[in-house]
Structure 1
Amino acid sequence: MERDLALIGFGEAGSTFCAAARWAKPACAFDPDPSRKQAIEEAGISASTDVRSALADAWIVLSLVTADQALAAAQTAAAFLQPGACWIDMNSVAPDTKRRAAAAIEERGGVYVDAAILAPVRPAALNVPVLLAGNMAETAREELLSLGFTNVRVVGEEVGRASAIKLIRSVMVKGVEALTDEMMSAAEAAGVVEEVLASLDASEKSDSWFRRAAYNRERMTTHGIRRAAEMEEAASTLQSLGVEPVMTQGTVRRQRAAAAPITTERNAA
């Protein structure tokens, strides 16, 4: 039997997926922002006026709302889902939030699948990497493949596992962005942008993250106290340039904490 599709949320992700797929199967979308109704219709699918009507015939639901609305969307939708309908939660929220959303969906007879999108949806669209977790993750993978998604992987049966991978990874990805901004603001203020970037290019090494993670942690354990002191000076430098050393001060704390166990051992000896 042909299963109807519903999208809850029609922002960047929903509109991008829909434009790439041009789904032939019956599909509809609901977004609480009325200004998006025209975009939904232009994408060739029905624009529902509320969650109830969007879910009336839906067997596959992609939840693509903002992170702060992910739990509320699941809790609201739970009452209107068809028994056995699959709620694929693709929002970037914490594992505990996913588990609370799963409880709401499953309590009313729905199927919940934790999904994590690992890259920007533009320009990747349906080729974007997606991780799935939950008891019905394999079924959800097959459904997503039938919708045109090409890079979908099941990572376990425990709801929250996919989102944990996504958000822990984001510590590095978004952290590097924030560090870059802090570094560049200081380099611009000091008038040394070209020299700083050239130095980084000269020292950059391409290596597996398995090796890099182990190497970085060993360096912190061995040299964390000295490096923390150096980074305190770096923080003072940024402050003198009018740049708040938010990330740098965090580095000081992390370096010092990593060295604490070995320092304690030496003092005890």
Structure 2
Amino acid sequence: MSAIATIGFGEAAQAFVSGWRSEDGVSLGQISTFDIKVETPSLRDNLRRACSDLDVTCGESPRQALAGAATVFSLVTADRALEAATNVTEFLGRDALYLDCNSCSPATKAAAARLVEAAGAVYVDVAVMSPVHPARHRTPLLLSGSEAKRAHNMLLSLGMKAEIAGDEVGQASSIKMLRSVMIKGLEALTAECMLAARRAGVEKAVLASLQASDPGIDWTARAAYNLERMIVHGRRRAAEMQEVAATLRELGLPDRMAAAAADWQRQIGELGITAPENSLEARADAILERNLT
């Protein structure tokens, strides 16, 4: 198989690579990456260690990482996706497959597509539809774009789980963005509801009322999970929710819920809390110990 490169080597890229390495019958060629953490002395050692652990070449520059790569996975934060495309397009091989897996609005994806295609490479809009753990490379993906079928075949060869959403860039990302209105909006509502209930000393009564109203959800477990997602991934989720808000504006609709959810995600993510034990009370208390305004 031809060489694979990733732009960004965070949680998603590492999950995909570790999954490929574990897949019986998958023949992997060289895998390389460029991550901007390599430019920061305090972050460089951990990046290189992660690359070494997964037998990935850690490029010192985009040019080095992308040399000879037939397939490039862009796996950065939503707010850096267009910047990443801008910085790497001149190093893409002609007809290389550029899989933009970032959580961005359709307009952002379209702008990145124009850059990639102007460089002679092939752009495919990829939406990652659930957390990358525990499924790793089998995390469900949606694909769209004129070459979505080509990307689909390539991903299947890596043991990945992908479906085609359409032949236009933006179709896959639209589904992801609008789903996030609900999923990450519910997380933000969880924080607002449960932190206030905990501070007022009525969280058990609130949870009991929610459980009685909608017994199909384990509200205590779901609330604990939602807070953990925000504590650990809030900054990244906030960047995605900004793209969700942009998507709503592109559709001529107000973005007030998505924008408020982005604020909650960012505020909790920036607290720098190490995720406490799997307990709603412990997670709520860890947040409430900080200065929330």
Instruction: Give how far 1:88 is off.
Output: 0.1
Residue of structure 1 in register with 2:233 after alignment: none
Runs of 4+ residues deviating >4 angstroms: none
Q: Which runs of 5+ in 2 are unaligned?
A: 22-26, 39-43, 218-255, 261-293
Instruction: Give how far 1:95 is off.
Output: 0.8
Residue of structure 2 in register with 1:21 after alignment: 20
Contact kept in structure 1, 2:85 and 2:112, CA below 8 Å: yes
CA-based RMSD of the aligned residues comes to 1.7
Instruction: Give how far 1:178 is off.
Output: 0.8
For residues 128-158 of structure 1, the C-alpha deviation after alignment (integer angstroms, 9 at most, x for no partner) is: 1100000001110111111221x21100011
Instruction: Give how far 1:206 is off.
Output: 4.7
Distance in 1 between residues matched to 2:199 and 2:50, nearest whole Å: 43
Instruction: Give how far 1:61 is off.
Output: 0.5
Distance in 2 between residues matched to 1:14 and 1:45, nearest whole Å: 11
For residues 18-63 of structure 1, the C-alpha deviation after alignment (integer angstroms, 9 at most, x for no partner) is: 1121263221111111221221122112121110111110010000
For residues 170-206 of structure 1, the C-alpha deviation after alignment (integer angstroms, 9 at most, x for no partner) is: 0000111111111112211222111111111111165
Query: What TM-score, normalized by structure 2, do the two folds share?
Result: 0.68
Distance in 1 between residues matched to 2:146 and 2:207, nearest whole Å: 47
Distance in 1 between residues matched to 2:91 and 2:34, nearest whole Å: 13
- 1:106 equivalenced with 2:117 (yes/no): yes
Residue of structure 2 in register with 1:76 after alignment: 87
Residue of structure 1 in register with 2:272 after alignment: none
Contact kept in structure 2, 1:155 and 1:161, CA below 8 Å: yes
For residues 68-98 of structure 1, the C-alpha deviation after alignment (integer angstroms, 9 at most, x for no partner) is: 1111111121111111001000011111000
Distance in 2 between residues matched to 1:113 and 1:119, nearest whole Å: 19
Residue of structure 2 in register with 1:211 after alignment: none
Query: What TM-score, normalized by structure 1, do the two folds share?
Result: 0.74
For residues 223-262 of structure 1, the C-alpha deviation after alignment (integer angstroms, 9 at most, x for no partner) is: xxxxxxxxxxxxxxxxxxxxxxx97xx8xxxxxxxxxxxx
Contact kept in structure 1, 2:17 and 2:137, CA below 8 Å: no
Q: Which among 130, 137, 153 is matched to residue 141 of structure 2?
A: 130
Larger Rg: 1
SS in 1 for 2:197: helix
Show the 5 A alignment for 1:175-254: 175-204=185-214, 206=216
SS in 1 for 2:29: coil
Residue of structure 1 in register with 2:265 after alignment: none
Contact kept in structure 1, 2:131 and 2:139, CA below 8 Å: yes
Show the 5 A alignment for 1:49-60: 49-60=60-71
Distance in 1 between residues matched to 2:58 and 2:159, nearest whole Å: 21
Residue of structure 2 in register with 1:10 after alignment: 9
- Tell which deviates more after alignment, 156-165 or 30-39: 30-39
Distance in 2 between residues matched to 1:45 and 1:191, nearest whole Å: 50
Contact kept in structure 2, 1:31 and 1:37, CA below 8 Å: no
Residue of structure 1 in register with 2:98 after alignment: 87
Distance in 1 between residues matched to 2:2 and 2:31, nearest whole Å: 9
Residue of structure 2 in register with 1:117 after alignment: 128
The count of corresponding residues between Structure 1 and Structure 2 is: 208
Identity of counterpart residues, as a percentage? Answer: 45
> Greater RCO between the two (CA within 8 Å, min separation 6)?
2
Q: Which among 23, 33, 38 is matched to residue 37 of structure 2?
A: 33
